[in-house]
Amino acid sequence: MFTKNSKTGDIVVEFPMASQLFKEHKIDFCCGGDRPIGEVLEEKQIDADHFMNQLNALYKEKNDNTVQEIDWTKASYKELMDYVVQTHHAYLHRVLPELSALVAKIYRVHGKNHPELERVHRLFNKLKGELEHHLIEEEVNIFPKIEAYEKDRTTKSLDELLKDIETLESEHDASGDILKELRNITRDYFIPSDACRTYSLTYQQLEELESDMFQHIHLENNILFPRIAQEKTA
């Protein structure tokens, strides 16, 4: 059972379904995954006892269920990276160009009455550029290095990896900050009364992008990278 001292990232590592509950309460479990849940609840003025009871009830229900989930803490590095690329990278490769066109369209059509759309347009395109660079870096450089290290286990390759991981984590933080700012300026993706169907679709897809990014960063920041870092002290 989880306590108020349990870290948000550790909770989602142990209980992936907790991510949905965290999302409902706007609790960061990816970039801010090293914070105790009690501290976060206090900061957000959320009833900690009620929240923890709800979380642990869901966890118990999950444990009573016979459905088996993949335990990424025990999977090989290659299996986890393949999943990230085939699931989260593939999603971003598909959705970023689509969203780019949608964000530009609603800014052009509705920007006069909704000046915040200018910032949405700027922020999204900044995020898009950073993510496209990030995906290439992971797929072409970092992930092949991790796969090679999994085979040779040399100290030199591990030291190089740890430096690369620091850079990736910094990029994750930057992306997380942009996502938070997008949510803030859109007032939690509130759809105004004069919004057209494209406007609604754009905000829906931006929110889906945020959810996918949280899961993506969680798998790397809270599972893949810590496992590699632990090998330094093994």
How many other C-beta atoms are found inside a 10 Å radius of the C-beta of residue 136?
A: 11
Q: What is the pLDDT of residues 107-156, one digit of tens each?
A: 999 999 999 999 999 999 999 999 999 999 999 999 999 999 988 888 88
How many other C-beta atoms are found inside a 10 Å radius of the C-beta of residue 113?
A: 9
Residue 3 domain-assigned? no
Are residues 103 and 19 located together in one domain of the fold? no
Q: What is the pLDDT of residues 171-201, one digit of tens each?
A: 999 999 999 999 999 999 999 999 998 999 8
Would you mind telling me the total number of residues written for the chain in this entry? 234
Alpha carbon distance 35, 46 (integer Å): 15
Residue 102 domain-assigned? yes
Tell me the mean pLDDT in the region 52-77: 80
pLDDT at 146: 95
Number of domains into which the chain is organized: 2
Query: Residue 82 burial by CB count (10 A; 0-12/13-18/19+): exposed, middle or buried?
Result: middle
Are residues 57 and 164 located together in one domain of the fold? no
- pTM for the complete prediction? 0.77
Q: What percent of the chain has pLDDT over 90?
A: 72
User: Residue 68: which pLDDT band, with cuts at 50, 70 and 90?
Assistant: low
